[in-house]
Amino acid sequence: MTHSLEATYENGMLRLAHPLPLGPSEKVWVTISATPSPILQAYGILGWTGDHETLRRIAEDPEFDPQER
């Protein structure tokens, strides 16, 4: 059984957004991955042939921010 869930890292501990559906003393494997940025999620579907760092710099440039217009 696999569960994907949201957690926040605070003061050296992971704080889960919701309780886990596990029984007492049930053993589990834990894999941690940071939430990818929307830019990295879109990387590959844009047809971009450059590197992800250049794409990130362009996408985060305030000049292209639609909220700034």
Whether the model pTM is above 0.95? no
The Cα-based distances of 9 to 15, 24, 28, 56 in angstroms read 6, 23, 19, 24
Q: Please provide the distance, in angstroms rounded to a whole number, between the alpha carbons at the two ends of the chain.
A: 47
Domain count, the chain: 1
What pLDDT score does 44 carry? 67
The pair of three-digit structure tokens given for residue 51, joined into one six-digit string:
């590197």
Domain that holds residue 61: 7-68
Residue 58 lies in a domain: yes
Instruction: Report the residue count for the chain.
Output: 69
* Domain-located, residue 1: no
Asked if residue 2 is part of any domain, the answer here is no
Distance CA 31, CA 64 (A): 35
Residue 29 inside a domain? The answer is: yes
Written as tens digits, the pLDDT of the chain (69 aa) is 777 888 888 999 999 999 888 999 999 998 887 776 776 667 667 677 888 788 888 888 888 777 755
